């Protein structure tokens, strides 16, 4: 599984006045996470309407995230990475995963050229589900025009789930799948410990579960569905139990990520990060297995060729691949990702409850790692664990 940026709704270029802004707008969490969130067509300028027509169905929460990208660009701040974009989505109550961010800037942008660039970006990725999008634009203090887009493919929608709760309060998780799924489960990651599954039912396209925060702090709620490409996260939300949500973007660094700062090949760097992560969490290292390495590398290449992240992209699910290779395993788990860098792939897998469960599973004793570089410089990653 894989688990790779806010002011009002759509912005006309003249309405973002950042000359008096010294820092990004503080995070203001919405009261509930839900989807979809309809955007008002009458708030669009003609240019924004053209851009959105090329991008996907408008979603108000994604518009607000795109507006944060514009604001940061106008302030000269670093572009948000994938995990920071996903965090901004949670602030806005937007539950989907695997967002893509795009931005273009310049003096007096040519509208037709901008449309062509957006179209090139849009067709560079395609997932299952329904394409959702947010577009925002603005003018920096130096007169630079900025246009940003956030796009993703929605595989499910979530009924309102409160952002704030009390410890011990029962919360209902209700979702509707937009694509066929063989099974679904809800995984909850609390402020400490390993992720845990909660009892979940799937009836037709409806997913239902209940859980109660068992301590004060931040909880991540994730819905995982077994879709055409295998099990993968489809929705995610944050719940704060008897604790205030952060008002600034927190550090999203994952344990062990600095261990990958070597000149070794990408797979070895990835293995070093996972080893350091497990050591930080008090777990034993997993031994690298050449046969598992070969399977992981082959699957990463298959994902690149298919331009899709999944456990089965035409080469079979992990257990079947192990059996075909003649590798005996009592249990197997796989993490897959596509990100701009290895470090960001490692972060994304750590932040995802279902992927973190594989990273922290003490019973896994052997592992294989594969990482291939896309022509665009991004990386496709596979981590294959077994015992």
| Concatenated DSSP letters of 228-259 | TTEEEEEEEEEEEESSPPPSSPPP-PPTTGGG
Could you tell me what percent of the chain has a pLDDT over 70? Answer: 94
Give residues with Cβ within 8 angstroms of 266, minimum separation 6: 342, 371, 372, 373, 379
Instruction: Give 44-55 as a 3 state SS string.
Output: CCHHHHHHHHHH
pLDDT-derived band of residue 20, with 50, 70 and 90 as boundaries?
A: very low
Nearest alpha-carbon partner for 185 in 221, 149, 137: 221
Q: Three-class SS of residue 40?
A: coil
Looking at 201-210, 322-331, 378-387, which range is the least confident one? 322-331
19 pLDDT higher than 80? no
Chain-centre distance of CA 329, in angstroms? 30
- Please choose, from the candidates 224, 212, 209, the residue with its C-alpha nearest in 3D space to the C-alpha of residue 173: 209
**pLDDT tens string 97-122:** 999 999 999 998 999 999 999 999 98
pLDDT in tens, 230-282: 999 999 999 999 999 999 888 889 999 999 888 789 999 999 999 999 999 99
Query: CA–CA separation, 258 vs 263, rounded Å?
Result: 12
Residues 6+ apart with CB under 8 A from 59: 35, 36, 37, 38, 39, 94, 132, 133, 134
Write the DSSP assignment of 272-288 as a string of letters. Answer: HHHHHHHHHTT-PPPEE
Of 283, 257, 282, the residue nearest 272 (C-alpha): 257
Number of neighbours of residue 23 by Cβ within 10 angstroms: 9
Residue 202 clears pLDDT 90, i.e. is over it = yes
Output 313-318 pairs: Cβ under 8 A, ≥24 positions apart.
313/229, 317/230, 318/384
> What DSSP element (H or E) covers 311?
none
d(CA 166, CA 212): 9
Q: What is the dihedral of CA 293, 295, 297, 301, to 10 degrees?
A: 180
Distance between first and last Cα of the chain: 19
Lowest mean pLDDT among 8-22, 29-43, 104-118, 219-233: 8-22
**Neighbouring residues of 363: CB distance < 8 A, sequence distance ≥ 6:** 331, 387
| Residue bearing the bigger pLDDT, 301 or 40 | 301
Q: How confident is the model at residue 2 (pLDDT cuts 50, 70, 90)?
A: very low
- The pLDDT, as a whole number, for residue 5 is 22
Separation of alpha carbons 343 and 352, rounded Å = 14
Average of per-residue pLDDT across 8-18: 31
pLDDT at 36 over 90: yes
pLDDT band at 4 (very low <50, low <70, confident <90, very high): very low
pLDDT tens column, 126-148: 778 999 999 999 999 899 999 99
The SS3 assignment for 372 reads: strand
Mean pLDDT (the chain) is 89
The whole-number pLDDT of residue 108 equals 86
The better pLDDT of the pair 252, 296 is held by 296
Q: What is the mean pLDDT of residues 149-170?
A: 97
- Largest Cα separation within the chain, whole Å, is 64
For residue 22, what pLDDT is reported? 55
| Global pTM value | 0.86
Average pLDDT over residues 353-366: 93
- Which 8-state DSSP code applies to residue 35? S
| DSSP letters spanning 64-111 | HHHHHHHHHHHTTPPPP-HHHHHHHHHHTT----S-EEEEEEETT--H
What does the pLDDT read at residue 307? 87
- Find the mean pLDDT for residues 272-294: 94
pLDDT band, residue 175 (cuts 50/70/90): very high
């Amino acid at each position: 599984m894989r688990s790779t940026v806010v002011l009002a709704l759509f912005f006309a270029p003249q309405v973002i006045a950042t000359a008096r802004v010294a820092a990004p707008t503080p995070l203001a969490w919405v009261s509930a996470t839900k989807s979809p969130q309809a955007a008002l067509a009458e708030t669009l300028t003609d240019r924004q309407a053209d851009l959105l027509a090329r991008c996907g169905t408008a979603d108000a929460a994604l518009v607000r995230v795109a507006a944060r990208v514009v604001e940061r660009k106008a302030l000269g701040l670093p572009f948000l990475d994938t995990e920071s974009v996903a965090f901004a989505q949670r602030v806005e109550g937007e539950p989907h995963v695997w967002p893509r961010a795009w931005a273009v800037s310049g003096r007096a942008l040519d509208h037709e050229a901008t449309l062509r660039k957006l179209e090139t970006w849009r067709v560079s990725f395609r997932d299952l589900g329904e394409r959702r999008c947010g577009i925002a634009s603005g003018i920096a203090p130096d007169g630079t025009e900025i246009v940003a887009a956030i796009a993703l493919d929605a595989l499910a929608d979530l009924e309102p789930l409160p952002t704030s709760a009390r410890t011990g309060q029962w919360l209902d998780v209700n979702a509707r799948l937009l694509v066929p799924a063989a099974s679904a489960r809800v995984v909850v990651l609390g402020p400490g410990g390993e992720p845990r599954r909660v009892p979940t039912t799937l009836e037709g396209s409806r997913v239902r579960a209940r859980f109660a925060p068992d301590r004060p702090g931040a909880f991540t709620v994730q819905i995982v569905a077994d879709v055409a490409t295998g099990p993968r996260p489809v929705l995610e939300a944050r719940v704060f139990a008897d604790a205030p949500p952060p008002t600034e973007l927190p550090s999203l660094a994952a344990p062990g990520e600095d261990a990958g700062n070597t000149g070794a090949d990408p797979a070895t760097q990835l293995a070093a990060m996972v080893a350091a992560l497990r050591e930080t969490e008090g777990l034993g290292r997993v031994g690298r297995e050449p046969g598992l390495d070969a399977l992981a590398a082959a699957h990463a290449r298959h994902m690149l060729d298919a331009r899709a992240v999944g456990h089965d992209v035409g080469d079979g699910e992990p257990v079947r691949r192990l059996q075909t290779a003649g590798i005996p395993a009592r249990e197997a788990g796989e993490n897959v990702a596509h990100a701009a860098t290895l470090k960001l792939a490692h972060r994304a897998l750590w932040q995802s409850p279902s992927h973190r469960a594989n990273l922290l599973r003490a019973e896994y004793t052997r592992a294989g790692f594969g990482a291939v570089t896309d022509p665009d410089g991004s990386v496709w990653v596979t981590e294959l664990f077994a015992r």
